């Protein structure tokens, strides 16, 4: 383990989850941090995202295998949580997604690993540059429209030819957070007639600023906005009333991008089988919250389910389809976080009273975390 006069050693592991092509830190961001820390990168970690080993070495990083990194590094950085064979040693710090997974949290606590779960980054102006959820949701919103367009049997834009005129497709985003707004903007650029919906009254202005039509429902149904900027959880009765209010609008849509979620809770059910029965055969729903239960009753993670001619897609890792740019944004968030935690020190400054590091620690032993990076 390093002494206080030595630089902290940060390791970047390759991703082993099926379909995961991103890398947690890219060479240009390592180059920006190299004066504050030493970096060791697993060979091939960035290959799927378009960053080869030579670019990492040019940035000042050392290449190594997984075991070497686990044995020699104070901090381990990944996109996805590590598997059993990638678990950091006791006293080390892990920076990755998985901050809302209680089973992972318990597993790491039992092994005395401090986990800085990236989902726990607070939604504040100060932490905006560190917010991986927002950056990756933006890419997911864009990719969802492309995936939905591929599955549709119609074109998104209007097309006039000698053989006749094709009308533009009608699209709606359910939930007007980062992913929903990016889906609206992307569908607009592709020529669809675009709509947006959200239970938060403040979302109307955002939807309309992108040139989309806001679908309004009875304001008594809406759950309003929480302190974190997300919609508040609704009662089962409110959700049932909301589904009925939305069903007539969804029946006219050909592409639905579903993004509505409430952190730490199952995704609200907005599309039930009754609504599916009203939709046009050939319509496509891309449910971006499949991992949280889905906004559609029949959604299954990483599967396409067809009901009455309506295809319901439940992709769980769309950013990996755009692995290069997704990695650039993810890495930029991680770089901003590490720069903040390393400021003026040779170790990570993990202060339970700090609004950012305190949120990341979420009650974990900050004193042990400081020793881990000493």
User: Which tens digits make up the pLDDT trace of 61-86?
Assistant: 999 999 999 999 999 999 999 998 99
Instruction: Write down the residue that tokens 């000042």 correspond to.
Output: 60
Q: Is it the case that residue 334 has pLDDT exceeding 70? A: yes
Fold for the domain defined by 8-120+343-372: Rossmann fold (3.40.50)
Nearest to 255 by CA among 370, 149, 121, 361: 149
Q: Is it the case that residue 138 has pLDDT exceeding 90? A: yes
Cα distance between residue 257 and residue 175, in whole Å: 9
131 is catalytic: yes
Q: Active-site residue among 123, 189, 204, 241?
A: 123
Tell me what percent of the residues of the chain surpass a pLDDT of 90: 83
CATH number of 134-321: 3.40.50.720
Q: Are 115 and 94 in contact (CB under 8 A)?
A: yes
What's the pLDDT tens digit per position in 149-176?
A: 999 999 999 999 999 999 999 999 999 9
Binned at pLDDT 50, 70 and 90, residue 204 comes out as very high
Binned at pLDDT 50, 70 and 90, residue 191 comes out as very high
Cα distance between residue 157 and residue 190, in whole Å: 6
Helix (H) / strand (E) element for 160: namely strand 159-161
Nearest to 241 by CA among 270, 261, 215: 270
272 is catalytic: no
Q: Is it the case that residue 360 has pLDDT exceeding 80? A: yes
Q: Given this model, what pLDDT does residue 3 score?
A: 44
Q: Is it the case that residue 119 has pLDDT exceeding 70? A: yes
261 is catalytic: no
Supply the Cα-derived Rg of the chain in whole angstroms. Answer: 22
Q: Active-site residue among 230, 243, 287, 328?
A: 230
Q: Active-site residue among 7, 134, 280, 346?
A: 134
Q: Residue 110 contacts by C-beta under 8 Å, 6 or more apart in sequence? A: none
Q: Given this model, what pLDDT does residue 202 score?
A: 86
Cα distance between residue 151 and residue 144, in whole Å: 11
Q: Given this model, what pLDDT does residue 2 score?
A: 44
Q: Average model confidence (pLDDT) for the chain?
A: 92
Q: Which two tokens stand for residue 144?
A: 């969802």
Nearest to 59 by CA among 76, 78, 40: 40
230 is catalytic: yes
Q: Active-site residue among 29, 74, 131, 198?
A: 131
Cα distance between residue 299 and residue 301, in whole Å: 7
Binned at pLDDT 50, 70 and 90, residue 237 comes out as confident
Binned at pLDDT 50, 70 and 90, residue 44 comes out as very high
Q: Is it the case that residue 92 has pLDDT exceeding 90? A: yes
Q: DSSP readout, 318-342?
A: GGGGGHHHHHHHHHHHHHHHHHHHH
Q: Active-site residue among 7, 43, 72, 128?
A: 128
Better-scored residue on pLDDT, 230 or 333: 333
Matching fold, domains 8-120+343-372 and 134-321: yes
Domain extents in the chain: 8-120+343-372, 134-321
56 is catalytic: no
Cα distance between residue 122 and residue 357, in whole Å: 9
């Amino acid at each position: 383990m390093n002494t206080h006069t030595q630089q902290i050693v940060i390791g970047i592991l390759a991703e082993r989850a099926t379909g995961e092509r991103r890398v947690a830190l890219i060479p240009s961001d390592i180059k920006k941090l190299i004066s504050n820390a030493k970096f060791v990168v697993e060979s091939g970690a960035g290959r799927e995202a378009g960053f080869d080993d030579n670019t990492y070495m040019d940035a000042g990083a050392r290449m190594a295998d997984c075991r070497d990194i686990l044995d020699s590094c104070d901090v381990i950085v990944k996109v996805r949580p590590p598997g059993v064979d990638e678990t950091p040693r006791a006293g080390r710090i892990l920076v990755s997604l998985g901050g809302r997974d209680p089973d992972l949290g318990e597993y790491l606590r039992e092994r005395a690993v401090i986990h800085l779960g990236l989902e726990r980054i607070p939604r504040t102006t100060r932490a905006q540059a560190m917010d991986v959820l927002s950056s990756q949701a933006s890419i997911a919103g864009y990719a969802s429209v492309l995936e939905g367009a591929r599955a549709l049997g119609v074109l998104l834009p209007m097309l006039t030819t000698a053989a006749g005129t094709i009308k533009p497709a009608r699209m709606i985003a359910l939930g007007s957070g980062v992913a929903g707004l990016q889906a609206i903007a992307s569908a607009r650029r592709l020529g669809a007639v675009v709509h947006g919906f959200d239970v938060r009254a403040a979302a109307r202005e955002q939807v309309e600023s992108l040139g989309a039509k806001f679908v309004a429902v009875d304001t008594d149904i809406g759950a309003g906005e929480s302190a974190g900027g997300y919609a508040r959880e609704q009662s089962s009765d409110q959700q049932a009333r909301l589904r009925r209010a939305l069903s007539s609008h969804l029946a006219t849509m050909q592409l639905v991008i579903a993004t509505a979620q409430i952190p730490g809770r199952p995704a609200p059910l907005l599309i039930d089988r009754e609504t599916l029965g009203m939709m046009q055969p050939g319509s496509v729903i891309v449910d971006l919250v499949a991992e949280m239960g889905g906004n559609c009753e029949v959604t299954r993670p990483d599967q396409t389910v067809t009901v009455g001619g309506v295809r319901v897609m439940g992709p769980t890792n769309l950013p990996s389809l755009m692995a290069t740019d997704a990695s650039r944004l993810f890495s930029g968030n991680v770089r901003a976080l590490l720069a903040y935690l390393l400021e003026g020190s040779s170790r990570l400054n993990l202060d339970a009273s700090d609004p950012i590091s305190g949120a990341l620690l979420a009650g974990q032993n900050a004193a042990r975390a400081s020793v881990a990076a000493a």
